[in-house]
Structure 1
Amino acid sequence: MKFGEQLRTSTIKEYQWYYIAYDELKNQLKPAYEEPSSSSAGRKGKGKKKEWTEEDEGAFINRMEQELDKVHTKQKVKAIEIGRRIASSEKEVSDVVARLDQRGPGETDGPTEEEFMMLEEDLSDIIADVHDLAKFVQLNYTGFQKIIKKHDKQTGWHLKPVFATRLKAKPFFKDNYDADIVKLSRLYDIVRTRGNPVKGDSAAGGSQSAFIRNTTKYWVHPDNITELKLIILKHLPVLVFNASKEFEAKDSAITSIYYDNPETWDLYEGRLKKTEGAEAIRLRWYGGMDTEQIFVERKTHREDWTGEKSVKARFGIKEKNVNAFMKGELLPAAVFEKARKDGKKPEKAIAEDERLAKEVQYSVLKKGYKPVCRSFYNRTAFQLPADARVRISLDTELTMVREDNLDGKIRSGDNWRRMDIGIDYPFSQLPAEDIERFPYAVLEVKLQTQVGQEPPEWIRELIASHLVEAVPKFSKFIHGTATLFPDRINLLPFWMPQMGVDIRKPVTQHFGIQRPGHSAQSLSTSDDDDDDSGDEEEYESQDSTPRAGSAENGSRQDRDLRNRQDFPGGNNLDIEEQLAAMPLNEDYPLYDSDDEDEEENALEEARRVGGWPYYTKVLKKHAKLVGQRTLTALHAINPVPKPTSMPRNGGIQPLGNGHIESRRFKAPKGKKIHVPVRVEPKVYFAAERTFLSWLEFSIYIGTIAATLLNFGSKPTKASFIAAGAFSIVAILSLLYSVGIYLYRSNSIRARKAIKYHDKYGPSVLCGALFVAVVLNGVFELKERGYF
């Protein structure tokens, strides 16, 4: 679906007169044609295309200014309205809670269930308004970017740099609604719990020194960030570390400095290969650069076969002491001297922190670890206070920055961090080679569930929805190091090829923000119809589902609701497993490109001109169509094995039309892509047992050969040939088994992603043995005179 059509089908009724007039602007860019001359009057088509003039450019810019002012005004007015509605709801909730607190024991007077339901409906409506405004902003921003790109491409005049300044003057797309989301989360939690929200330490996690979690990671496209936050806050409140103060942007900022040896990159390769005991050492702080408390953290990876879980341990240290500690000038005992005197923390916990400090300091000094990479992001955490069983965090504006002093350039110097930047995203003062701006948000779902316990149903639906893309074991440290040091890192993580693929997916199920009183939900998906869609500063945002109020949409959604079944538990396949079980079709484009649009334009241009150029293009088009259909027919009759269809959960629909977009990736020249391979001790034993089985088989065949040669009535030519044949088979199988065993052992030790099954060996061995038996029978029968 092209963007113009996408814009029309995604129109929200409230905003229908305030969207960018994309089709009109596109028509204004269509070239005009001169009247055909007398010499060409007999030919079909129009005259020569007119050049784009300064007058045309001025008219186009004026229209763009009008559209920008229209969109910016509507966004500003609606944002103010939402802010006032939140303030009004806040007052109403406070009144209801005050009446609830004034109620004495045993009294029945107070707020009724109906009042709470009305408040919840009110807040749900505000949440839907925030969602719709975010979609309106994203769609219009995409429209401006696309029309500017189309203008520069068709006219040859460069409007993009000039209009970027005008967009900054009216930045309707800059609001991220985080402050509104924090307020809505608090109010919705109060109403949802009927005035009894879960109490506890809101800084859960800040006081923990070592904890174990089961964490899964996902990428989230910028188009879906606000919608995802609004969905989660209906189930979990936003975790606020300091509820006594108003929310500020710096409250969500988290910065980490990662250490490694810039010569050997031991920590990078250990974390990438997930070797047993691999460590990551980082220094982290929350908030701005003026924060005094710094956390020294160490992550340790443990293989599953060890029976242990990967652990993150950390201790706090004052910022003024970090340099002395990391250089070995300040010993761990001195770091915790004040904590021991205060007596606010148990001696056992202080002893554990001190042991960790000693180990970290020893590793840094012994192995030459230095600051190499910084990660910055704004985190929105969702968690019940003092309850870490379910914790969801969403990291946005993720940025990696070089902290090293390599290549003769001083960045951090002798300090443990560079001081020329703070939390001023997007760090425009840095050169391009020092920074990597990650294009997606990172969602982490952290669960502390008991053995056999299923995660909450809404989490299962969330991670199976179109809003997220699973990227297991994604690491900010690994990604930042691999991208910032391309000349020094040759082993790349497995997700690097995926960076060039659009992760947005069509809507897979009835899941999203629902406005009270409507059966339809606001859903979002994306299509891409223009070239250069990989620009870092641009991303497209579309909403492919018709809005509530459409009769066709309502009936379709109602039908989905009737057909939908809940996610079953147990071993039923989830949405990702279902998709993985489906056959691949490399010809299916999940997102269309601009190529088809350009071909249609070229054909239309040739039709206007007429003559031989037009007929040539028509023939090429039909020849291409015939070739595609021929290939499709050949694929259909090709006798290849068909995959077994896997059972699906009721109501869950696969992506698109049942197809999956698949691509083959190749590592850049001189580099390798590391594919995670799980290796357990039993794998070594399995390879050894296989070798011993081959060895035993070779001995049996060798024994047969020796028996034929030495224990007959008299050595004959037939027995000699048969014994030789069996001996050759025994020797070949022995050599083959030794070679395979060495190959497998080395591959397992190096964690190579190879095929460990033996596809041809057993068949060749059986064939050779069959030939040997047949030869033995033939020569024996011949020796006895049967033929």
Structure 2
Amino acid sequence: MRFGQQLKSSLVRDWMFYYIDYEGLKDALHLHRTWDEKAEQEFVSKLEKELDKVYGFTQVKSEEIIRRIAASENEVNDVVAQVDQPGPNGPTDEDFELLEEDLSDIIADVHDLAKFTQLNYTGFQKIIKKHDKTTRWVLKPVFATRLKQKPFYKDNYDSFIVKLSKLYDDVRTRGNPVKGDSAAGGKQQNFVRQTTKYWVHPDNITELKLIVLKHLPVLVFNASKEFQVDDSAITSIYFDNTDTWELYQGRLKKTEGAEAIRLRWYGGMSNENIYVERKTHREDWTGEESVKARFKLKEKHVNAYLRGEYTPEQIFEKERRDNKRPEKDIASDEQLAREIQYRVLTRSLVPVTRSFYHRTAFQLPGDARVRISLDTELTMTREDNLDGRQRAGDNWRRMDIGIDWPFSQLPPEDIERFPYAVLEVKLQTQAGQEPPQWIRELTASHLVEAVPKFSKYIHGTATLNPKRINLLPYWAPQMKVDIRKPVSHKFGIERPGASNDISTSGNMDDDSDDDDASYGLPQAQGNEDDDRIRRLREARDVMEQQDINQRRNYGAISGGEGPNALDVEERIAAQPVATDDYPIYDSDSEDEEDELEEARRAGGWQYRQTLIKHKAKEVGNTLAEWGWAIIPRPRPTDVGGGGFHLGVPSWKQPGEIKRFKAPKGKRIHVPVRVEPKVQLATERTFLSWLEFSILLGSIAATLLNFGDGLALAAAWAFTIIACCALFYSASLYLWRVRMIRKRRAVTYHDKWGPTLLCIGLLAAVATSFGVRLGGGGWQGGLKG
């Protein structure tokens, strides 16, 4: 959808006069036949007025929300204070319902204001781009300075969300909010833990937070302290061996026992408490769960601890003396400190990657059944001393940055600013129990994109070390694909008693230069406000009617709304693809080209052998394609790949792709789950083939020893089939074992073997009968 149409269809009716006059600014670009200094001044003046209007409204609206939250806080406190009063003086359910409705209205205001700033900021960016392209006068750097002076788009709504969360929780629980330790409830063994990660587009972050706070309160560790943005900052330093990258490889491949070692702190750089953590991956078939263990260490002792000069006994000496914790817990932490120190020293582990983000956590205190965390401003930076640069030096972390996001002082090669927020949903449900309905609706909505097993450390390390890391995570090719999706079902923030005015889920593409054929004509004179209202109402009516027609006529295929609508994953899966079973990643062809290139540089017999193998494979593939093409079979009708064909709109949206190709010299790691039963199934299949080969060999030996001369041909046929089956099964077994060991996503099932074996048996039996019939055996048997 073009931005002009998106803006018109996303207006909040009560605020329509305060949005950027995008259409008016576009018209101003075409008022003058020749663009001179006077025309530029008139346009800049109009642009300044629009900026002042938008900035002024956001300031007024923010102050209004602050006042409304303060007033609601007083009302909630007054009502909650009366809860324990006996008799008729206590509050009624109607009182709490009115408070909840008022808070819901404030939440809707925060949501609308966030969308308002997002839309207007996008509008200013696009109109400047259109100005520079149309007039050839460069305005972008100058206006960027003006935007920094009136940064209406940089308002942070986290303080609103924290306050609204507490008030809404008080009202929802009727003045009896859940209290307890936020870390409690995580050790019950009769619960099934499920963790899933999602990407969230920046356009949807505030809306998602407001949705979640209606069901779970924001987890605040220090309720007595006024909320500050720095309180939600989390920074981690990951360690690895820069020669082998063994920890990266293990975490990416999810090998049994793979470890990740990191140092983490909360808040600013002045925090003295550093947590030394080790995450250990356990395969499901082991019956054990992945473990994260950590202990606390003073920042002044970190360097000495990593060098082995500060021992685990010294770390817990004071704690033992104070006797504030059980000896069993202290001994467990001491053993962990000893193991981590041993690994750092023996494996030459050094700081390699830093991750920074602001985390908003949602959870009932003392109840870990549902925990939701949203990490925003996610940034990864290099901590190593490679490439001849001393980033951290002899220290355990670099000191030229802190929590001053977006770390503009760093060079581009040292930083990776992740474009999305990361949502993590942790559920503890009893076996067979479904997650809450709102969780299912949230994870199935257009607001999130599922990315299982996403890792900040893996992504940052792979991105920041392109010349050293050749094995990439599976999500790497998808980084350039827009994750925004059309609204799949009615889910989001709604104002009490009214429908939602905002719907900004569609992509805001650039307008084309020929949006309107009348741009070359002067704008009609008259009342600008009346004309603008008329245009807005007409545009809204047209958009609503188009949306209704689209859903009515095209339903699921168009990707519109409705119960049968296809989401992005379903539309991608519906696209026609090649006949191979695993078409998503094409890393194998890149590996073959690299292997041939290396053999060419080596020369000699190795190159000739590799070249012959490469050419033979090409010839074989060509012959197979020709053979498959001439086989009579039903073929689908090609209706084209895009646009409207045969009256049906294309379900492929811009930016959606199904085939990903690894960069040259690199390979994409596709997660493959390997359990012991996979290896056992491979061995069992090989033994079945071996048994069958022995059976065929026995038949051949019987015919050879006890048959006449005519049975010799049948014996040879069965012998050849048995030998072929034996060599084929042995080769297939060895190949499968190698692929399982490498955890490669290949076609493990056998598509051709059983069919070829049946054809071979049919040929052998036919040979036996043919030879017998041709030799007169049948007639002789009848005469006898």
TM-score normalised by the chain length of structure 1: 0.81
Q: Does 1:724 align with 2:719?
A: no
Structure 1 gaps, min length 5: 34-49, 533-544, 561-572, 587-636, 643-655
Q: Does 1:699 align with 2:682?
A: no
- 1:641 to 1:318, Cα distance in 2 relative to 1, 3 A: farther
Residue aligning to 2:527? none
**How far apart in 2 are the matches of 1:207 and 1:330?**
32
Q: Secondary structure at the match of 1:513?
A: coil
Query: How far is the alpha carbon of 1:575 from its aligned partner?
Result: 8.7
- 1:553 to 1:246, Cα distance in 2 relative to 1, 3 A: farther
- 1:153 to 1:519, Cα distance in 2 relative to 1, 3 A: closer
Out of 44, 68, 75, the residue aligned to residue 51 of structure 2 is 68
- 1:86 to 1:203, Cα distance in 2 relative to 1, 3 A: farther
1:687-732 Cα offsets, whole Å, 9 max, x none, are: 11111111111111111211111112xx42x322222122111111
Q: Does 1:742 align with 2:734?
A: yes
1:429-485 Cα offsets, whole Å, 9 max, x none, are: 111000000000000001122222221111111101110000000000000000011
In 2, are the aligned partners of 1:212 and 1:309 still within 8 Å (CA)? no
Q: Does 1:583 align with 2:574?
A: yes
Residue aligning to 2:291? 311
1:392-541 aligned within 5 A = 392-520=372-500, 522-530=502-510
Query: How far is the alpha carbon of 1:100 from its aligned partner?
Result: 2.6
Residue aligning to 1:668? 663
Q: Does 1:769 align with 2:761?
A: yes
Q: Match for 1:197: what amino acid?
A: P
Residue aligning to 1:98? 81
Residue aligning to 1:376? 356
1:129-180 Cα offsets, whole Å, 9 max, x none, are: 0000000000001111111222222333322222111110000000121101
1:647-676 Cα offsets, whole Å, 9 max, x none, are: xxxxxxxxx986674431100010011000
Q: Match for 2:775: what amino acid?
A: E
Q: Secondary structure at the match of 1:393?
A: strand
Residue aligning to 1:631? none
Residue aligning to 1:291? 271
Query: How far is the alpha carbon of 1:501 from its aligned partner?
Result: 0.4
**How far apart in 2 are the matches of 1:522 and 1:471?**
27
1:558-573 aligned within 5 A = none
Residue aligning to 2:175? 195
Q: Secondary structure at the match of 1:514?
A: coil
Residue aligning to 1:89? 72
Q: Secondary structure at the match of 2:199?
A: strand
Q: Secondary structure at the match of 1:16?
A: helix
Query: How far is the alpha carbon of 1:585 from its aligned partner?
Result: 6.0
1:358-377 aligned within 5 A = 358-377=338-357
In 2, are the aligned partners of 1:261 and 1:370 still within 8 Å (CA)? yes
**How far apart in 2 are the matches of 1:725 and 1:365?**
64
Residue aligning to 1:10? 10
1:746-786 Cα offsets, whole Å, 9 max, x none, are: 00111010001111111111112211111111111122266
In 2, are the aligned partners of 1:10 and 1:546 still within 8 Å (CA)? no
TM-score normalised by the chain length of structure 2: 0.81
Q: Does 1:677 align with 2:672?
A: yes
Query: How far is the alpha carbon of 1:201 from its aligned partner?
Result: 2.9
- 1:521 to 1:192, Cα distance in 2 relative to 1, 3 A: farther
Query: How far is the alpha carbon of 1:268 from its aligned partner?
Result: 0.4
In 2, are the aligned partners of 1:218 and 1:442 still within 8 Å (CA)? yes
In 2, are the aligned partners of 1:294 and 1:318 still within 8 Å (CA)? yes
**How far apart in 2 are the matches of 1:207 and 1:92?**
39
Q: Secondary structure at the match of 2:87?
A: coil
Q: Secondary structure at the match of 1:71?
A: helix
1:629-648 aligned within 5 A = 639-640=634-635
In 2, are the aligned partners of 1:514 and 1:522 still within 8 Å (CA)? no
**How far apart in 2 are the matches of 1:127 and 1:8?**
23
- 1:576 to 1:694, Cα distance in 2 relative to 1, 3 A: farther
**How far apart in 2 are the matches of 1:213 and 1:290?**
35
- 1:254 to 1:234, Cα distance in 2 relative to 1, 3 A: same
Residue aligning to 2:556? none
Out of 126, 133, 137, the residue aligned to residue 106 of structure 2 is 126
In 2, are the aligned partners of 1:203 and 1:241 still within 8 Å (CA)? no
Residue aligning to 1:621? none
Q: Secondary structure at the match of 2:49?
A: helix
In 2, are the aligned partners of 1:11 and 1:546 still within 8 Å (CA)? no
In 2, are the aligned partners of 1:513 and 1:521 still within 8 Å (CA)? no
**How far apart in 1 are the matches of 2:364 and 2:504?**
28
Residue aligning to 2:606? none
Q: CA RMSD in A?
A: 3.0
Q: Match for 2:154: what amino acid?
A: K
Residue aligning to 2:772? 780
1:74-125 Cα offsets, whole Å, 9 max, x none, are: 1111001101111111111122222334x2xx53422222211111111100
In 1, are the aligned partners of 2:9 and 2:503 still within 8 Å (CA)? no
Residue aligning to 1:28? 28
**How far apart in 2 are the matches of 1:140 and 1:327?**
53
**How far apart in 1 are the matches of 2:543 and 2:752?**
57
Q: Secondary structure at the match of 1:238?
A: coil
Q: Does 1:277 align with 2:268?
A: no
Out of 740, 745, 753, the residue aligned to residue 753 of structure 1 is 745
Q: Secondary structure at the match of 2:239?
A: strand
Query: How far is the alpha carbon of 1:424 from its aligned partner?
Result: 0.4
**How far apart in 2 are the matches of 1:691 and 1:461?**
46
**How far apart in 1 are the matches of 2:283 and 2:69?**
48
Q: Does 1:709 align with 2:709?
A: no
Residue aligning to 1:688? 683
Query: How far is the alpha carbon of 1:58 from its aligned partner?
Result: 2.4
Q: Secondary structure at the match of 1:328?
A: coil
1:30-53 Cα offsets, whole Å, 9 max, x none, are: 4865xxxxxxxxxxxxxxxx5x43
Query: How far is the alpha carbon of 1:200 from its aligned partner?
Result: 1.6
Residue aligning to 1:137? 117
1:588-645 Cα offsets, whole Å, 9 max, x none, are: xxxxxxxxxxxxxxxxxxxxxxxxxxxxxxxxxxxxxxxxxxxxxxxxx993589xxx
In 1, are the aligned partners of 2:320 and 2:327 still within 8 Å (CA)? yes
Residue aligning to 2:129? 149
Residue aligning to 1:19? 19
**How far apart in 1 are the matches of 2:15 and 2:576?**
39
Q: Does 1:334 align with 2:329?
A: no
- 1:506 to 1:196, Cα distance in 2 relative to 1, 3 A: same
Q: Match for 2:433: what amino acid?
A: Q
Query: How far is the alpha carbon of 1:523 from its aligned partner?
Result: 4.1
**How far apart in 1 are the matches of 2:657 and 2:384?**
38
Identity of aligned residues (%): 66
Residue aligning to 2:89? 109
**How far apart in 2 are the matches of 1:721 and 1:301?**
58
Residue aligning to 1:267? 247
Q: Secondary structure at the match of 2:372?
A: strand
Structure 2 gaps, min length 5: 513-535, 552-563, 578-631, 638-648, 780-784
**How far apart in 1 are the matches of 2:650 and 2:226?**
47
Query: How far is the alpha carbon of 1:3 from its aligned partner?
Result: 0.9
In 2, are the aligned partners of 1:256 and 1:283 still within 8 Å (CA)? yes
In 2, are the aligned partners of 1:212 and 1:310 still within 8 Å (CA)? no
**How far apart in 2 are the matches of 1:577 and 1:382?**
28
Out of 28, 39, 64, the residue aligned to residue 56 of structure 1 is 39
**How far apart in 2 are the matches of 1:109 and 1:460?**
40
